[in-house]
Structure 1
Amino acid sequence: MEPQHKYILRKHRLDLSSNISTDDTIVQYLYQEEILTLDHVEEIQAQSSSKKRTLMLLDILPGRGPKAFGKFLEALEMEYPWVQEKLLQRLDNNAVQITGTDHWAVSESVLQSVPSERQLNRLAGRLGPEWESVLLDLGLSAEDVYRCRANHPLAVQSQVLAGLVLWKQRIGRRATVQSLVQSLQAAELHPSVLDQVFL
């Protein structure tokens, strides 16, 4: 899923959970279109209220591949066309802000480079409670994040650094500053978080 799509789902999750119900055809359509597995459907249906079921769906969707957002919009069109229209409008309004990296004051050459461990350490020291969602957005699993916390129980910076280093080791040359910036944007962090990081 594109960073701007993740951003829109995260930014409007409470609004969506109040305005749509997954008890209708949304979950079944996403299952039919192979966005959700049977396990996902059961996990969503096991939630105790309609709102919780919708929130669970919104938690699952970002990890379900590049077609997930489009299929979610198609599902909305069947039952909630006004919600779909509102989401598309918000996506248009936010597209430039989310995809542009100009205001992050990072040069093109730095964006294409792989960050050093020193740079990752500097960034780890700047991240607040959003660090877990940044790591999940980068592709680490909830189990990976738990392991980072368990291995460094007394130092949050060490937990974050361990996660960032693991991300870099896993995907090698594809672990660029650009993908890191996109995940920071998806977590709605302010550009100032990168001040002095990529000197």
Structure 2
Amino acid sequence: MDPAHRAVLRRFRVKLSDQLLVTDTILPFLFQEGILTEAQVQQVESQPTDKQKNLKLLDLLPNRGPRAFSVFLDALRDYSWIREQLELELRNTSGGGSPDDFAAPSCCHGDRCQLPDSVLQKVPSDQELSRLASRLGAEWEEVLLDLGVSAEALYRCRSDHILSSQAAALAGLVLWRRSEGKKATLARLLQSLETADIHPSVLEDAVMR
């Protein structure tokens, strides 16, 4: 998701969490359009209150690829006043644009990663891992397990950073890089992100920023 779109969702987080009812039409539409997986829909629906369902959806959306924001706007057809506010805020902060402009960034077309092979063969830096950890959301454990980090090591990461899933994810990524050495490449990371059904643009955003 484009950084400007992330920022708009962040600024409207409280309003969105208070006013939406995502289970009626929004979740089915996002699933139909391939933005959310069935497991992610279940994650949202399993939350005990409507507000927590909304917040869980807002946690997931930024990591669902370059189409996530525009499809989310389309899903707000029963909440036209909210959609108009989001569009107005985006125009005010980005200097123009229409809903048709809310598409994939130029670095990413479709679902294929646009990072060149020369970049994918590199070992990620601390800064790149930190940016990636901030974007992983609830899928961070699935990614790390696919990377070969043990369940015991994941438990230690959670225990050591109980108040921050981002810090726990970063600790796990650093542990993976340390254990794998030169094999801990961005290409290997991309493979595990795809296994967890995370869009390649999440890695592109962390690396190309």
**TM-score if structure 1 supplies the norm length?**
0.56
Q: 125, 139, 142: which one pairs with 2:140?
A: 142
Equivalent residue number for residue 80 of structure 1: 79
Instruction: State the identity as a percent.
Output: 31
Equivalent residue number for residue 3 of structure 1: 3
* Mapping of residues 30-69 of structure 1, within 5 Å: 30-69=30-69
Give the drift of 1:58.
Answer: 0.8
Equivalent residue number for residue 12 of structure 1: 12
Equivalent residue number for residue 109 of structure 1: none
- What is the number of residues matched between the two proteins? 153
- Structure 2: distance between partners of 1:52 and 1:90: 24
Provide structure 2 residue ranges, at least 5 long, that are not aligned to the other structure. Answer: 96-121, 145-150, 162-166, 178-183, 188-202
Equivalent residues of 2:36, 2:64 under 8 A apart: yes
Equivalent residues of 2:35, 2:68 under 8 A apart: yes
Equivalent residues of 1:148, 1:163 under 8 A apart: no
Equivalent residue number for residue 186 of structure 2: 171
Equivalent residues of 1:138, 1:179 under 8 A apart: no
Equivalent residue number for residue 27 of structure 1: 27
- Structure 1: distance between partners of 2:155 and 2:94: 34
- Structure 1: distance between partners of 2:174 and 2:64: 22
Equivalent residues of 1:47, 1:53 under 8 A apart: yes
Give the drift of 1:160.
Answer: 5.6
Give the drift of 1:52.
Answer: 0.7
- Structure 1: distance between partners of 2:21 and 2:72: 13
Instruction: Specify whether residues 134 and 82 from structure 1 end up closer, same or farther in structure 2 by C-alpha distance, changes over 3 A only.
Output: same
Equivalent residues of 1:135, 1:164 under 8 A apart: no
The one-character-per-residue Cα deviations of 1:37-59 (angstroms, maximum 9, x if unpaired) are 21112111111111111111111
What amino acid does structure 1 have at the position aligned with 2:186?
A: I
Instruction: Specify whether residues 47 and 85 from structure 1 end up closer, same or farther in structure 2 by C-alpha distance, changes over 3 A only.
Output: same
SS of the residue corresponding to residue 47 of structure 1 reads: coil
CA RMSD in angstroms, aligned pairs only: 4.3
Instruction: Specify whether residues 90 and 40 from structure 1 end up closer, same or farther in structure 2 by C-alpha distance, changes over 3 A only.
Output: same
The one-character-per-residue Cα deviations of 1:60-108 (angstroms, maximum 9, x if unpaired) are 11121111111000011x1101100101111122226xxxxxxxxxxxx
- Structure 2: distance between partners of 1:19 and 1:80: 9
Instruction: Specify whether residues 64 and 21 from structure 1 end up closer, same or farther in structure 2 by C-alpha distance, changes over 3 A only.
Output: same
Provide structure 1 residue ranges, at least 5 long, that are not aligned to the other structure. Answer: 97-113, 125-130, 183-199
Instruction: Specify whether residues 164 and 29 from structure 1 end up closer, same or farther in structure 2 by C-alpha distance, changes over 3 A only.
Output: same
* Mapping of residues 100-115 of structure 1, within 5 Å: none
What amino acid does structure 2 have at the position aligned with 1:30?
A: L
Equivalent residues of 1:136, 1:142 under 8 A apart: no
- Structure 2: distance between partners of 1:21 and 1:43: 15
What amino acid does structure 2 have at the position aligned with 1:95?
A: S
Equivalent residue number for residue 194 of structure 1: none
**TM-score if structure 2 supplies the norm length?**
0.54
Moved over 4 A (4+): 138-141, 146-149, 159-167, 178-182
Give the drift of 1:135.
Answer: 2.4
